Structure 1
Amino acid sequence: MTSRGQYVITCDLCDKPTKQFCQVSLCVDCVSNHVDKHQSLTHDIVPFKSRKIQLVFPECEFHPHQRCEAHCQQCDVPVCIKCFLSNHKGHNAIELSKIVVNKMRDIETETEEIEIVILPRYMKVEAETKVKASECSARYNELEQNTQRYRELWHKNVDIIFNNLSSSINSKKNDMLTSLNNHQTLLSSLILEIQKTIERNKEILKTNKVSQVINYESKLKEYRSTPSDINIKIPSLETNTIPGVELNIELEEYRAILTQTSISSQIEEANYYSTRELLDKARVVATIPTAVKPIWRVACVGDNAAWVSGDDILMRLVDIHGFVQDIVKTTSMEKPSDITVSRQGRLVYSDAKNKTVNIVRYGQTEVMLTIPKGWKPRSLCCTRLGDILVNLYNGGQNKIVRYQGKTLKQEIYKDDNNKDIFKTGEYRLCIAENNNGDICASDLNADIVIGLN
């Protein structure tokens, strides 16, 4: 059963409860002040419960000194008595006061639902998110402590393994806490907005101005869609020891092995060398709704989320249910040329105006690469070895460059016979890396796909 509370209507001149009414709400103490201030007016002061609000109808824009007290149903506009004798002669109409009564009733019902049902639900989700953030931090701290304890069992030459391990944990922890904090910030912002909507609606319920009531725009449908919760998945630290022979430790995709004769550290990505049969017919796994129209770029983050971008300056992280988890703006205030995701799951985007490739870490945008003069960055691809491939464009010429960190390692635009690999034209190259580490480029100017070893 839902309990329904009533809000107190206060005096329009102070914050005390309303007792009297004279086309404005008044407390007992403010009645005399109101009368003294408006001595030239006639006052009809009655108990608040016996009030009759005198509606202020809008002036007719076609007939001076005439008030529009009706609404033409055929033309869907307010009209005065003279309008019925001219442009709206013979049209059906309804009294504006009836429209106001119905609209006021809807606003009151909607405000009650927002205040009594929806706002507590948002506040509950926010509180749960705070608890999860605290638990997440504590469990990650415990994970770091276990890592340090295992470190002491290993030889000093394997410090690099545990440094990588700690870096991975911190990265995962920061990414998860950033997602939770962003989610909490989003909820706090929405709660503040809802509270303002409630206050605004209450003001409308007290007004006698028809235009404010008529122009009211409902946000009830928007507020009913409570943002989805964030699931927390804490990785476990696994270790296996054969005394005198082998030490083995793993954290998700990270694995390190120490044997009597060698120390090896390797990073294995799930399904990295896996092969999959191509289906005869494509199968739809999920349909994810977004507010982006048209969608120009998509970059997957794991199996349950993706960054998407369109014609505006925003890049949105959307989960599999279509809820926006994060939003990033381009620093140049122009739409991104392309987006991709690094091996650590961080958003990377190219900015043709600033001639940079940027990466977003913990909510902050950093310049990752500055493109040589005369060239503009377009398509991007992060490789499995941590390099980044960038399609550069200059007056119809395309080339692919490989960066390792900030160092230029390779330029691809000529073949062994010193001939241009890519056809001159206005279109970009779309680039990707296959499981063999080869570069695949679709040359839209030549309508071909090129494989480069």
Structure 2
Amino acid sequence: MATSTSWAQDVITCDLCDKPTQQFCNSCQVNLCETCIKKHREEFGSLIHEVVPFLERKIQLVCPECREHSGQRCEVYCKKCNQPVCVKCIGLGPHKGHDVEELTETHENKIRKMKSDTGEINTKIIPKYQNEDHEIVISISTTKSKIEDLGKESIELRKLWHQEVDNIFDKIDSLSLCLGKENLNTLQGYHNKIRNLISELNEMSQSSLSTDVSSLTSRIGEFMKKVKVNATIAPIYDPLWGVSCVGEAEAWIYGQNETIACIDIHGAVKDTVIITCLEGPGGISVTRGSELIYSDYNSETVNIVRDGKSQTLITVPRYWRPWRLSCTRSGDILVHVCTGYGPHTKNKIIRYQGKNIKQEINNDGQGNPIFKDGFYSLYVSENNNGDVCVSDVNADAVVVVDKTGRVRFRYDGTPARRGKSFCPTYIVTDALSQIIVADYNNNCLHILDQNGQFLRCVDDCGLEESYALSVDSEGRLWVGLCGNGEIKVIEYLQNK
């Protein structure tokens, strides 16, 4: 079967009418038919027109007519006045003596500038915003995932709290059956306190878990040029092994005996707790509910003090012994545990949520131990961003891991340029996420930012054998001196 093919071609028409183009004005760059040539010349009669057959046309820059001199085209550009002018303007007219260049050169420069700007847009600006768009998409996805995780965690915490309350009531019911009438009043009072606890836990479970901490801490304060000593508290324990603040003006302290004392900022003893550890606890801390907890090295437990009596809160894994403690803002408890003896003692940090192990921090991603073997304890604190900050005395270093247990950085005291070797003991963090660590050998405190950058040393307020640290709710630092048992309460931040 025969096929046919047809071609269509666009007809170029005159710019003044719809007839086919036959001629072209090179001067004005206009398509013309034979009829419109005269019309075009008459319309711009003062100008010279180079009309040629369309196939002989030249594509060139159209020089506009001069506003000052009729019949003259503007072939140059006045740089001073930023406008095209004719040769009469620069010879005799208002642009005489001005710096000029050919209009074609000006046109080419602008074309080059446009090409350069377009190139920069394509190679730099567009890729930049494409990257930002990609990062925003990732951030949105990550935020959604975190919100979902927080929701799941909230549900689990709600279940855990109700389970703990149920366990407490079961114990109360069991005790009420075996105790006599003389103890009923005491049990009833305890029962009322438990009901208040249920109310508080329900309120906590309904509160927001997404408080923006960064907007608060960014306004807390800045470094003072000079440290201010607010109080020097006379020794109660000598040696002094630990300090843990309660609120704005009180702290629990302990030494090498079977008591833990609560003192105020003036040194007055407000309360004393008798414990089962004959040589003192391994460590103490205060929960976010202001309850005292301490570790019993020999019984392998972490105990909580309620109504002046000790109760077992946590039993650590078999063959491990608890030592230093730290309560986090989320309610978790960080416990340093060790096993073995002498220089071959193994050390790790366990995060407890209630009685349950939530995380163990001891090995990096390659299976290597994060903390050095040795018989000295680890001191631990959690920062606002979830980092766990640890003083590894056996390694003479501070080790900071993120919330997944990955090592972020180590600090060995070198930037401080102290005279003796770095010997880190207690470690705390403040509202600005700064890390403060006591240096026992050099009688000073090292202050780092949350990324491990050394900021400065505090060594000008008599911190001989500085050892124990705690921060109160007013942002003041309580520094316990191991050698003489004194406690210095100092200010190193000032409110804006």
TM over 0.5: no
TM-score, structure 2 normalization: 0.37
Name the structure where strand makes up a greater proportion of residues: 2
Q: Which gives a bigger RCO, structure 1 or 2 (Cα 8 Å, sep 6+)?
A: 2
TM-score, structure 1 normalization: 0.41
